[in-house]
Amino acid sequence: MSTELPRSGIFRDGRHLYPVRIYYEDTDAAGLVYYVNYFKYAERARTEMLRNLGFEQERLRTESGLIFVVRHATADYRLAGRLDDDLTVATRMTGSGAATLDLSQEIRRQEAILVALEFQIACVGVGAGGRPQRLPPELRAALDSISSATAAHRPSSIQPSGVNPQHAR
């Protein structure tokens, strides 16, 4: 699927789709993707999604003093990625608050989900000591234009305690 995608990804069906190719540097001694690299692929996909919406993170930082930080993350590892795999990171907004974005990301090999990730991303002010800051209205409007999830809520998989019930076994 990702061979047909442009390097920066595209928006399709309310999701941003971003291509990833697995290189030798991404794998462990067994030839499988090292687990933390999935988080790197997800970060790249979120960055490109924002860039495609017209919000480059460095420009946002220098012009408004705002940056994004991961407040909460969960990962459900289902299948292993391997050397030379052609993967797609699908990013979908699942909710938002005044200063947060809730995102669901799936890393897929064709139709198979390798890793399902849930993130809560906070908008914070560099000059405000890292305190939460409201999302810029232009960014909120751009995100709302690609998503039907405009209500300010947390997805059910992110619990207030910070523990995903699936992983609390």
| Bridge partners, residue 115, by sequence | 77, 107
- pTM exceeds 0.95 for this model: no
Cα gap 88→41, rounded to integer Å: 9
CB of 127 closer than 8 Å to CB of 65:
yes
pLDDT at 148: 52
Of the chain, the percentage scoring pLDDT greater than 70 comes to: 85
For the stretch 67-110, pLDDT in tens is 999 999 999 999 999 999 999 999 999 999 999 999 999 999 99
Q: Three-state SS for 76?
A: strand
For the stretch 58-79, pLDDT in tens is 999 999 999 999 999 999 999 9
Q: Which residues are catalytic?
A: 28
Of the chain, the percentage scoring pLDDT greater than 90 comes to: 76
Residue 9 φ/ψ region, left for φ over 0, alpha for ψ in the -120 to 50 degree band, beta for the rest: left
What band does 44 get if pLDDT is binned at 50, 70 and 90?
A: very high
pLDDT at 146: 82
pLDDT at 45: 98
| Burial of 30: CB neighbours in 10 Å, binned 0-12, 13-18, 19+ | exposed
pLDDT at 49: 95
- What domains appear along the chain, each with residue ranges and CATH number? 2-147 (3.10.129.10)
For the stretch 1-33, pLDDT in tens is 445 888 899 999 999 999 999 999 999 999 999
